[in-house]
């Protein structure tokens, strides 16, 4: 892209946005090359593990409910409603959360949002003063960097351990007088880590101490769109019992396979003494950021589907094929406990170089540096099983080419 | 709202957001009182002219098309697509715009958005550096103040004339080295003014001159969700022929009666030399603001309905009853050429006091100060005709009470 225009004067794009485009141009280049590769060789010939776009369709129950809603001729269903969303939809979700969490949720603790991405922007706009700190953990979902920048906050990155688990002491050290929130993603994209109860309990203890020390509440924001995508009998603990100043943001992109429809919600801990003020602020920010309200039809759809379970059979199959296959080759890979991503160590310490080598074998993955942890790579396995099987040969050849001795 | 919490320390809401809530608390108070009034007296007893929520349902064509789409079992329809929206949907809209505007629109000049509110935030995030100026005209859609603040820009308010028409010289005077854009709303909310070709031509001339003088392009952003809601044979001219650095943002909230579903688009002038860079920036900002993409199903719905006409019969009836009725009483009211709002002069120079007096008669309107022009009030007439008829008696009584002699 030309950063100067032809007639003179700088480009009329905000500098910060132009820099973001510039910095992420390698991701764009990667996607463009992937698209060209598919155009040249055919979709079938390319193993594209780059996108977190679930390949599964919404279940019959979801589609049937959508049909019922659209065939039902009730008036007023496509109109504006309260910015927080339909009260009856929020009551349905509150009911679900009361059962799930044993906390006293009401519709007044909930705001329906344009997915979790919308929800996170609504939260950050509501709570962040300029130059406030938001602590995130690496590897992180790359969008967090942009979301905090949108609202003039600084993302403070704290490392996790070699199993991608929280190191509470490191988070404690990172907290200062400007810290407004800690933002965690569990199950984590890209690592698949799920944070257990003990970690949340420890973190709650630290945040209470630090909130008191700095005389300002520090929020714990849990981003949980993969909450129902779990393996090996693992459960994702709810944060509400461990820390009062907490919220959960989620979407139905992955658990109901509706990513394009943009529907999710934010749930504020009923025990948070600031709950009312927070929700009032988010009602305003949902409106003024231009979301106005979450799409009406999809609010109505998800209201009745809160208890819906995910079909994990294919994801589990894919995970096992890849984890076992890559481990056999010699890759250092931790089996994810949730979500549909692997985050193995790159056999070449230069993860971009490694990614380029994989591309030569028609395999597309994302370098770890895009998630704040260089030397790794992300494999999104929300695709058909034969792609996972087919890719193992290429993973083997590139591994060999990196000159590292194999396990077997 | 308590601005201090109980346990000590300030409220954990961003100061700017807390101030916005504080400042707009009178609007909230008004809505709350209106709701209480309806609860007490019944919906029927209250004439509520406060909300721009169209009471008409989507047409049978719209509903039938929605049913067709949902009954059709194509796979992949609820997934993520490009952040700009489905390419085929953008091609349908480009085709419509080619016919309408005679400009060479392609899908690459379009980005599907979460309504016009979403579109405006996507634009402003893409083009505004901190402290850039965005010129708006009063009376204005109140959200513009918030939208510019979201992205660290300053809204510079320029008055219109007594017919709510642009005063190009005033806009020219307001332009400085930090001016990034002029943002206009035609047909205008709240005044119903439509800006004619001559005004756009004059403004184009000024913006070319000033862009050159300050060596930076100044965008002309036309916000046109009411483009199809017109009276008296008036047409809304397209801006594209008058100024190259222009864009149109719109939604289908009002012309297809789908406000709750949040679907609209931004169209960048194909003649804008920066079009590609602008769209690239907006693809990023649509993503990072958390919209990600406009709701998939509603993109598909509106693709085929671009040429749909509005049924203006009830709005026209309402407009005529109110304009004639209020004029007969003595109100100074300009008949709107588009949209579904009246913006009469308040017979009491204190528009809030006048609004309070109307409330005593169970009539709810919004004081002009909410739109940057005190001494006026807004009447949203997107409701059933009998409410308009019923309200005239109250409007008459309050007018008399203001002690101004009547026309007749």
Judged against a pLDDT cut of 60, whether residue B176 lies above it is answered with yes
Residues 6+ apart with CB under 8 A from A304: A65, A92
| Residue among A126, A180, A293 minimizing CB distance to B17 | A126
Residue B42 gets the label, from left (phi > 0), alpha (psi -120 to 50) or beta, of: left
Q: Which residues of B touch A180 (CB under 8 A)?
A: 12
Q: Is residue B36 part of a domain?
A: yes
Instruction: Tell me the C-alpha distance between B344 and B128, whole Å.
Output: 34
Please state the rounded mean pLDDT for residues B104-114.
98
**CATH code for the domain of A188:** 3.40.640.10
- Residue B237: which of B186, B178, B272 has the closest Cα? B186
Any bridge partners for residue A179, and if so which?
A: A133
Q: Do B281 and A67 touch (CB under 8 A)?
A: no
Residues 6+ apart with CB under 8 A from B103: B97, B238, B240, B241, B269, B270, B271
Same domain, B134 and B116: yes
Give me chain B's average pLDDT, please.
93
Domain count, chain B: 2
| Residue among A125, A274, A295 minimizing CB distance to B261 | A295
List the single residue in B with minimal CA-CA distance to A261.
B295
Question: CA A305, B289, A56 angle in degrees (round to 5)?
Answer: 35
Please state the rounded mean pLDDT for residues B371-387.
96
Q: Is residue A98 part of a domain?
A: yes
Report which of residues B370 and A9 the model is more confident about. Answer: B370
| Residue among B7, B76, B290 minimizing CB distance to A273 | B7
List the single residue in A with minimal CA-CA distance to B128.
A14
Pick from B303, B320, B346: which residue ends a domain?
B303
Burial profile B139-164: b = 16 or more Cβ within 10 angstroms, e = fewer: bbbbbbbbbbbbbbbbbbbbbbeeeb
| Residue among A57, A258, A274 minimizing CB distance to B11 | A274
- Residue A155: which of A163, A146, A164 has the closest Cα? A146
- Residue A148: which of A407, A372, A393 has the closest Cα? A372
Nearest-CA distance from A155 to chain B in Å? 15
Residues 6+ apart with CB under 8 A from B324: none
Q: Do A278 and B12 touch (CB under 8 A)?
A: yes
Any bridge partners for residue B134, and if so which?
A: B155, B181
Nearest-CA distance from B397 to chain A in Å? 32
Q: Do B143 and A287 touch (CB under 8 A)?
A: yes
CB neighbour class for A268 (10 Å; exposed up to 12, middle 13-18, buried from 19):
buried
Q: Do A284 and B143 touch (CB under 8 A)?
A: no
Contact A141, A115 (CB under 8 A): no
Place of tokens 């070709």: B197
Q: Which residues of A touch B118 (CB under 8 A)?
A: 290-292
Looking at residue B3, its pLDDT comes to 41
Q: Do A71 and B66 touch (CB under 8 A)?
A: no
Nearest-CA distance from A404 to chain B in Å? 38
Q: Which DSSP symbol is given to A97? A: H
Any bridge partners for residue A111, and if so which?
A: A266
CB atoms within 10 A of CB A302: 25
| Residue among A73, A273, A295 minimizing CB distance to B262 | A295
Q: Is residue A2 part of a domain?
A: no
Q: Which residues of B touch A257 (CB under 8 A)?
A: 78-79
List the single residue in A with minimal CA-CA distance to B217.
A12
Looking at residue B20, its pLDDT comes to 92
Contact A245, A89 (CB under 8 A): no
Instruction: Tell me the C-alpha distance between B255 and A385, whole Å.
Output: 45
Q: Is residue A67 part of a domain?
A: no
Q: Is residue B245 part of a domain?
A: yes
CB neighbour class for A162 (10 Å; exposed up to 12, middle 13-18, buried from 19):
exposed
Same domain, A239 and A345: no
| Residue among A219, A288, A292 minimizing CB distance to B150 | A288
Instruction: Tell me the C-alpha distance between B201 and B281, whole Å.
Output: 28
Instruction: Tell me the C-alpha distance between B339 and B324, whole Å.
Output: 17
Average pLDDT per consecutive 10 residues, chain A (408 residues; last block may be shorter):
43 90 78 84 90 88 95 85 96 98 98 98 97 98 96 97 97 97 98 98 98 96 98 97 98 95 98 96 97 97 96 97 98 98 97 95 94 96 95 97 59
Instruction: Tell me the C-alpha distance between B358 and B99, whole Å.
Output: 46
Instruction: Tell me the C-alpha distance between A27 and A181, whole Å.
Output: 28
Judged against a pLDDT cut of 70, whether residue B81 lies above it is answered with yes
Q: Do A114 and B78 touch (CB under 8 A)?
A: no
pLDDT category of residue B7 using cuts at 50, 70 and 90: very low
pLDDT category of residue B406 using cuts at 50, 70 and 90: very low
pTM: 0.95
| Residue among B2, B6, B295 minimizing CB distance to A298 | B295
Picking from A7, A79, A268, A305 by the largest number of B CB atoms within 10 A of its own CB, the best residue to mutate is A79
Instruction: Tell me the C-alpha distance between B254 and B66, whole Å.
Output: 17
B111 backbone dihedrals φ, ψ, rounded to 5°? -140, 125
Report which of residues B44 and B314 the model is more confident about. Answer: B314
The CA–CA distances, whole Å, from A134 to A152, A176, A192, A316 equal 10, 10, 22, 33
Same domain, B202 and B328: no
Please state the rounded mean pLDDT for residues B59-75.
90
Any bridge partners for residue A264, and if so which?
A: A113, A251
Same domain, A273 and A151: yes
Judged against a pLDDT cut of 90, whether residue B10 lies above it is answered with no
CB atoms within 10 A of CB A2: 10
Q: Do B219 and A12 touch (CB under 8 A)?
A: yes
Q: Which DSSP symbol is given to B371? A: G
Q: Is residue B339 part of a domain?
A: yes
List the single residue in B with minimal CA-CA distance to A31.
B82
Same domain, A265 and A390: no
Q: Which residues of A touch B281 (CB under 8 A)?
A: 13-14, 17-18, 21
Q: Do B274 and A11 touch (CB under 8 A)?
A: yes
Judged against a pLDDT cut of 60, whether residue B1 lies above it is answered with no
Place of tokens 């965005």: B134
Pick from B260, B279, B303: which residue ends a domain?
B303
Contact B74, B404 (CB under 8 A): no
Tokens of A211: 């909130």
How many Å separate Cα A234 from the centre of its chain?
19
Q: Do B21 and A280 touch (CB under 8 A)?
A: yes
Question: CA A140, A143, A146 angle in degrees (round to 5)?
Answer: 120
Instruction: Tell me the C-alpha distance between A184 and B320, whole Å.
Output: 56
- Residue B140: which of B126, B151, B155 has the closest Cα? B155
Instruction: Tell me the C-alpha distance between A3 and B245, whole Å.
Output: 17
Pick from A271, A303, A335: which residue ends a domain?
A303
Same domain, B253 and B371: no
Instruction: Tell me the C-alpha distance between A117 and A147, whole Å.
Output: 8
DSSP string, B33-65: HHHHHHHHH-GGG-EE-------SPPPHHHHHH
Looking at residue B6, its pLDDT comes to 36
Nearest-CA distance from A157 to chain B in Å? 18
- Residue B109: which of B125, B85, B128 has the closest Cα? B85
Q: Do A115 and B20 touch (CB under 8 A)?
A: no
Instruction: Tell me the C-alpha distance between A132 and A126, whole Å.
Output: 12
Q: Which residues of B touch A143 (CB under 8 A)?
A: 287-288
Tokens of A104: 């006293």
| Residue among B76, B78, B285 minimizing CB distance to A258 | B78
Question: CA A246, A251, A252 angle in degrees (round to 5)?
Answer: 145
pLDDT category of residue B36 using cuts at 50, 70 and 90: confident
Judged against a pLDDT cut of 60, whether residue B402 lies above it is answered with yes
Picking from B9, B11, B14, B43 by the largest number of A CB atoms within 10 A of its own CB, the best residue to mutate is B14
Q: Do A11 and B70 touch (CB under 8 A)?
A: no
Same domain, A333 and A191: no
Q: Do A79 and B2 touch (CB under 8 A)?
A: no
Q: Do A9 and B280 touch (CB under 8 A)?
A: no
Same domain, A112 and A254: yes
Nearest-CA distance from A378 to chain B in Å? 19
Q: Which DSSP symbol is given to A52? A: -
List the single residue in A with minimal CA-CA distance to B251.
A290
Nearest-CA distance from A300 to chain B in Å? 11
B254-295 pLDDT, tens per residue? 999 999 999 999 999 999 999 999 999 999 999 999 999 999
Q: Do A126 and B14 touch (CB under 8 A)?
A: yes
Q: Which residues of B touch A278 (CB under 8 A)?
A: 12-13
Instruction: Tell me the C-alpha distance between A194 and A210, whole Å.
Output: 24
Q: Is residue A257 part of a domain?
A: yes
Residues 6+ apart with CB under 8 A from A156: A133, A134, A135, A136, A174, A179
B293-327 pLDDT, tens per residue? 999 999 999 999 999 999 999 999 999 999 999 99
Instruction: Tell me the C-alpha distance between B376 and B397, whole Å.
Output: 18
Residue A15 gets the label, from left (phi > 0), alpha (psi -120 to 50) or beta, of: alpha
Q: Do A17 and B115 touch (CB under 8 A)?
A: no
Instruction: Tell me the C-alpha distance between B162 and B334, whole Å.
Output: 9
Same domain, A291 and A369: no
Nearest-CA distance from A320 to chain B in Å? 25
Tokens of B269: 């002038």
Contact A98, A240 (CB under 8 A): no
Reduced to 3 states, what is the DSSP secondary structure of residue B236?
Answer: coil
DSSP string, A42-82: -GGG-EE-------SPPPHHHHHHHHHHHHS--TTTTS---
Q: Which residues of B touch A258 (CB under 8 A)?
A: 78
Burial profile A97-117: b = 16 or more Cβ within 10 angstroms, e = fewer: beeebebebebbbbbbbbbbb
Same domain, A41 and A87: no
Percent with pLDDT over 70 in chain B: 96
CA within 13 Å, CB half, B141: 27
CA within 13 Å, CB half, B399: 20
List the single residue in B with minimal CA-CA distance to A60.
B73
Q: Is residue A293 part of a domain?
A: yes
Pairing of strands A377-380, A341-342: antiparallel
Same domain, B140 and B49: no
Picking from B78, B141, B212 by the largest number of A CB atoms within 10 A of its own CB, the best residue to mutate is B78
Expressed as residue numbers, the domain containing A359 is 15-58+311-401
Tokens of A275: 């709950």
Looking at residue B404, its pLDDT comes to 61
DSSP string, B155-212: EEEEE--TTS---HHHHHHH--TTEEEEEEESS-TTT-----HHHHHHHHHHHHHHHH
Q: Do A13 and B66 touch (CB under 8 A)?
A: no
Cβ-Cβ pairs closer than 8 A, A with B, add up to: 253
Nearest-CA distance from A181 to chain B in Å? 10
pLDDT category of residue B26 using cuts at 50, 70 and 90: confident
Q: Do A114 and B115 touch (CB under 8 A)?
A: no
**CATH code for the domain of B341:** 3.90.1150.10
Same domain, B294 and B220: yes
Pairing of strands B47-48, A377-380: unpaired
Contact B367, B355 (CB under 8 A): yes
List the single residue in B with minimal CA-CA distance to A82.
B260
Q: Which residues of B touch A215 (CB under 8 A)?
A: 8-9
């Amino acid at each position: 892209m030309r950063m100067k225009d032809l007639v003179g004067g700088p480009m009329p794009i905000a500098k910060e946005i132009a820099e973001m485009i510039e910095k992420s141009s390698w991701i764009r280049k990667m996607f463009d090359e992937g698209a060209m590769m598919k155009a040249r060789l055919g979709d079938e010939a390319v193993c594209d593990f780059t996108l977190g776009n679930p390949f599964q369709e919404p279940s019959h129950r979801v589609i049937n409910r959508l049909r019922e809603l659209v065939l039902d001729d009730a008036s007023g269903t496509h109109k504006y409603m309260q910015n927080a969303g339909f009260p009856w939809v929020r009551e349905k979700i509150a009911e679900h959360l009361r059962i799930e969490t044993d906390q006293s949720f009401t519709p007044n603790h909930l705001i329906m949002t344009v997915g979790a991405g919308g929800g996170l922007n609504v939260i950050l706009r509501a709570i962040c003063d300029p130059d406030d700190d938001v602590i995130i953990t690496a590897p992180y979902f790359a969008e967090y960097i942009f979301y905090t920048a949108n609202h003039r906050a600084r993302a403070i990155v704290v490392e996790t351990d070699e199993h991608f688990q929280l190191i509470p002491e490191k988070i404690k050290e990172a907290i200062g007088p400007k810290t407004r929130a800690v933002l965690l993603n569990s199950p984590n994209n890209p690592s698949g880590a799920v944070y257990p109860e003990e970690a949340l309990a420890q973190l709650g203890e630290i945040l209470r101490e630090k909130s008191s020390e700095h005389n300002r509440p520090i929020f714990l924001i849990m981003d949980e769109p993969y909450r129902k995508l779990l393996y090996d009998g693992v459960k994702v603990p709810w944060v509400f019992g461990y820390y009062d100043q907490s919220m959960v943001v989620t979407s139905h992109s992955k658990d109901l396979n509706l990513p394009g429809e943009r529907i999710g919600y934010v749930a504020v801990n009923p025990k948070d003494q600031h709950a009312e003020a927070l929700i009032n602020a988010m009602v305003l920010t949902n409106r003024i950021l231009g979301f106005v309200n979450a799409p009406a039809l999809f609010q109505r759809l998800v209201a009745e589907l809160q208890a819906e379970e995910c079909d994990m059979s294919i994801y589990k199959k894919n995970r096992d094929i890849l984890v076992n296959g890559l481990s056999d080759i010699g890759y250092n890979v931790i089996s994810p406990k949730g979500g549909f991503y692997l985050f193995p160590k790159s056999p070449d310490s230069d993860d971009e170089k490694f990614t380029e080598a994989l591309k030569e074998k028609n395999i597309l993955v994302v370098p770890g540096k895009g998630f704040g942890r260089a030397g790794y790579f992300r494999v999104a396995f929300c695709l058909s099983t034969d792609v996972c099987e087919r890719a193992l040969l290429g993973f083997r050849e590139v591994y060999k080419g990196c000159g590292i001795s194999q396990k077997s």
